Structure 1
Amino acid sequence: MTNDNSELDEREQAVVEKIDEEGIDFLRLQFTDILGTVKNVSVPASQAEKAFREGIYFDGSSIDGFVRIQESDMRLKPDSETFSVLPWRTREGETGGAARLICDVINTSTGEPFEGDPRYVLKQALDRAEEMGYTVNAAPEPEFFLFEEDENGRATTKTNDAGGYFDLAPKDLASDVRRDIIYGLEDMGFEIEASHHEVAEGQHEINFEYDDALTTADNVGTFRTVVRAIAAQHDLHATFMPKPIPRINGSGMHAHFSLFTEDGTNAFHDADDEFNLSEEAKQFTAGVLEHAKALAAVTNPTVNSYKRLVPGYEAPVYVAWSDRNRSALIRKPAARVPAASRIEARFPDPSCNPYLAFAVLIHAGLDGIERGLDCDEPVRENIYEFDEQKRQEYGIETLPSNLGEALDALAEDDVVTDALGEHVAEKFVEAKRSEFDDYRVDVSDWELDRYLETF
């Protein structure tokens, strides 16, 4: 179903004019598969009006987790709000530039949004929040590593610096890379809050301003693309793999959330509460904690994710919340003004599909509000130092120890599977079960080094 005769709306017309003004030659129409990989089709800029009016057709059966061959016709519908010029294309001195538009996926047989589109899954979560009288703001803190490339341009695990947390040059040799990444992000409309070297050698973090949850999820995909592209210009490989180097800190993507009411009031703030958190904020927190084990399958979706989620490397594995320390799964950060009151989920990692991860976290939190869940008292001690007996006394559980356990928890949690929708839940679990089974039957170098000559 197309809308060939429809007129462009004001925003779409403005994009078409911007394309002409900027001398854009090509448009990259982007969308995301179920596993979180950004896909794109490039079209001449002259096709912009057609893309807005009719969409661009593609074969959905070729995309992981989408549809079967007999249901393959899909249509990309560009979201005019996501138009942005790709800065590195222009800086390379090419004739003409390129821009991107993030798209929604439409089922051509019905003309309705495709239920397997991760962006649609997040929109459904935001619709639920809106029905409850809320809008959702989110802000991520994605971490990444920068590695040197070998003589063939392939990624190594050799870091290009020996810096640590908040270090400066000469230990932090990537400050120029971060600077160029920030320039690129700002060119694409990001408001950067801060950047710094993280704890591990070669590890970095760049924080950008919060926004509504859909825009923020879009921004996470853009962020990963920009970081990789500009790192490559410096002959470096940027990776968002959670744990690329054993026995040092891995990369997380702490996610901050707050709910606002229709009149613009932060529903998470209560000036009279000891922690400046409202009942809704505590109920939202309780919902996330109750569903945490199932959430992990989506927020920490790879075999490698669980190499990060082990005690001793500052990764949150304990299902609790705190207003003071970072050893708990959820933290209440300090807030200078009421609008900044929020909660921080510290367990997601940057390998997740941001649309699905945000969707399940929001649904879990809203479930806590709808059911009026009681939130336990915060744990103000360092849980990393607790022994098993003390954790039992506090009633503190842990996240799954591997992807298989997380998928088992997901299968038993109707709230989280319903948040994904039947199509995505089925395809996601199918893909991740296959990944975990493949991992289980593989034999690692560690095993060969340890056992081959011993037994």
Structure 2
Amino acid sequence: MNLTPYQAAKSYVLHSANELDVKFIRLWFTDILGTLKGFAITIDELEEVLDRGATIDGSSIAGFARSDESDMIAMPDPTTWQLLPWRPRENAVARMFCDILRPDGTPFDGDPRNVLRRNIQRASDKGYSFYVGPELEYFYLEDSDSVVPVDQGGYFDQTSAGAGPDLRRETVLSLEELGIPVAHSHHEVAPGQHEIDLRHQNALAMADTIITYRVVVKEIASQHGVYASFMPRPMNGENGSGMHCHLSLAKGEQNAFFDEDDALHLSSEGRGFLVGLIRHSPEITAVTNQWVNSYKRLVPGTEAPAFSVWTGGNWGDLVRVPPYQGRAEAVRIEYRAPDSACNPYLAFSVMLAAGMKGMEEGYDLGEPVTTDFGGMSPLERVEAGI
């Protein structure tokens, strides 16, 4: 019998749950702010919930619904099934992400996961697939009531005393157990600040991955009596934590952003996407930097973008095109404003929508900024068009 992809995934989940002694399944989704929500079911309920979903009160979830239209359905996505590696193997615990549906089974427009699906589909209708590779930064602090870092290391330090490097190593191992591909990890600029970079994936899978990543980082830290914070800038006088996003579009098997004849090896589609990000950066920033604390990070002199400009190399600019390294598939655009505390589903949605708008409208990109605009006066920046 030929199974549909959903039926095949469901069959795998039921078989895997039995083989791995899974007794509890956590069903995850996010509110509009990207805060993880969820509930647990037992193994006895799994098959029915996979078939029909589970009813939730949408009026109690930020950004979902009013009390007079509160009934909603959390429908598990069986393709997101994973065992949680930090839980005991006996009576194991697994998780799946959910799509939020209305009682009639139609997708709920306000579900962040559905918002991203819609934008991905619009790009797909034009022949494009959207990929994201994020650099996620965060802090290890002694506890949740202070901003005392667990180490005094600096950028790329390998000899910093404290728990940070060991926590990061254990986190990477847990991520890989979850099937999350890690590119590399290192100590960041500020004391107690660390970064784990993820290999690029399609945008929906990556948004799920980021939510999982934040849980894993916090869980591993908590097990060792340490508090992990994704706050954009918890300490004055130190760099904040960003989520620099490396973006690319594929058309079939080809990188749509690559042009070997361009000075930056960036195609007309790539240039259109880039200028869309610049032109619509105010709207994007409202989503990718949603907290008051987010704007304490976006200041000059901290390698965080403070102005809507682009460059071929400067790490302090809003958008940069990383230097070409001889591989067509590696050509990409880096958008540096987002922080690690955003809602990744909505962040990827607005970046994709803005980039596609730039491609469609043919905005003028202009030349990259090559001057030190961070040291300019406000009047000089206005005169330079920044």
Scaled by the length of structure 2, the TM-score of the pair is: 0.96
Q: d(CA) in 2 for partners of 1:202 and 1:170?
A: 9
Q: d(CA) in 1 for partners of 2:282 and 2:147?
A: 30
Of residues 317, 320, 339, the one that matches 1:331 is 320
- Helix, strand or coil at the partner of 1:9: helix
Sort the Cα spacing of 1:287 and 1:18 in 2 relative to 1 into closer, same or farther, 3 A. same
Q: d(CA) in 1 for partners of 2:129 and 2:15?
A: 31
Where do 1:74-153 residues align within 5 Å? 74-90=72-88, 95-108=90-103, 110-149=104-143
Q: d(CA) in 1 for partners of 2:302 and 2:160?
A: 25
- Helix, strand or coil at the partner of 1:42: strand
Q: Which runs of 5+ in 2 are unaligned?
A: none
Sort the Cα spacing of 1:8 and 1:167 in 2 relative to 1 into closer, same or farther, 3 A. closer
What is the one-letter code of the residue matched to 2:301? G
- Helix, strand or coil at the partner of 1:318: coil
Q: Does 1:319 align with 2:308?
A: yes
Q: Does 1:347 align with 2:342?
A: no
Q: Deviations over 1:23-82 (max 9, x none)?
A: 111000000100110101100022221111111111111111111111111111111111
**C-alpha contact (below 8 Å) 1:328/1:383 kept by paired residues:** no
**C-alpha contact (below 8 Å) 1:28/1:41 kept by paired residues:** yes
Q: d(CA) in 2 for partners of 1:7 and 1:328?
A: 42
What is the one-letter code of the residue matched to 1:148? E
- Helix, strand or coil at the partner of 2:146: strand
Deviation at 1:7, TM superposition (A): 11
- Helix, strand or coil at the partner of 1:324: coil
Sort the Cα spacing of 1:170 and 1:246 in 2 relative to 1 into closer, same or farther, 3 A. closer
Q: Which residue of structure 2 aligns with residue 406 of structure 1?
A: none
Q: Which runs of 5+ in 1 are unaligned?
A: 1-5, 397-455
Q: Which residue of structure 1 aligns with residue 250 of structure 2?
A: 260
Q: Does 1:71 align with 2:66?
A: no
Q: d(CA) in 1 for partners of 2:315 and 2:182?
A: 23
Q: CA RMSD in A?
A: 1.5
Deviation at 1:172, TM superposition (A): 5.8
Q: Which residue of structure 2 aligns with residue 403 of structure 1?
A: none
Q: d(CA) in 1 for partners of 2:5 and 2:355?
A: 40
What is the one-letter code of the residue matched to 2:370? R
What is the one-letter code of the residue matched to 2:264? F
Deviation at 1:364, TM superposition (A): 0.5
Q: Does 1:49 align with 2:38?
A: no
Q: Which residue of structure 2 aligns with residue 22 of structure 1?
A: 20
**C-alpha contact (below 8 Å) 1:327/1:382 kept by paired residues:** no
The percentage of counterpart residues that share the same residue type is 44
Report which of the two has the higher share of helix.
1
Q: Deviations over 1:353-384 (max 9, x none)?
A: 00001101100000001111121111133332
What is the one-letter code of the residue matched to 1:303? V
Q: Which residue of structure 1 aligns with residue 150 of structure 2?
A: 160
Q: Deviations over 1:177-208 (max 9, x none)?
A: 00100011001001111100000001000001
Q: d(CA) in 2 for partners of 1:41 and 1:324?
A: 45
Q: d(CA) in 1 for partners of 2:332 and 2:376?
A: 27
Q: Which residue of structure 2 aligns with residue 372 of structure 1?
A: 362
Deviation at 1:324, TM superposition (A): 1.5
Deviation at 1:174, TM superposition (A): 1.2
**C-alpha contact (below 8 Å) 2:36/2:211 kept by paired residues:** yes
Scaled by the length of structure 1, the TM-score of the pair is: 0.82
Sort the Cα spacing of 1:8 and 1:216 in 2 relative to 1 into closer, same or farther, 3 A. closer
Q: d(CA) in 2 for partners of 1:239 and 1:101?
A: 24
How many residue pairs end up in the alignment? 382
**C-alpha contact (below 8 Å) 1:330/1:343 kept by paired residues:** yes
Sort the Cα spacing of 1:7 and 1:236 in 2 relative to 1 into closer, same or farther, 3 A. closer
What is the one-letter code of the residue matched to 1:100? R
Q: Does 1:13 align with 2:14?
A: no
Q: Does 1:279 align with 2:274?
A: no
Deviation at 1:387, TM superposition (A): 3.1
Q: d(CA) in 2 for partners of 1:341 and 1:140?
A: 15
Of residues 276, 282, 285, the one that matches 1:293 is 282
Where do 1:335-414 residues align within 5 Å? 335-336=324-325, 337-396=327-386
Q: Which residue of structure 2 aligns with residue 245 of structure 1?
A: 235
Q: d(CA) in 1 for partners of 2:349 and 2:112?
A: 9
Sort the Cα spacing of 1:165 and 1:51 in 2 relative to 1 into closer, same or farther, 3 A. same
Q: d(CA) in 1 for partners of 2:383 and 2:259?
A: 30
**C-alpha contact (below 8 Å) 1:299/1:352 kept by paired residues:** yes
What is the one-letter code of the residue matched to 1:105? I
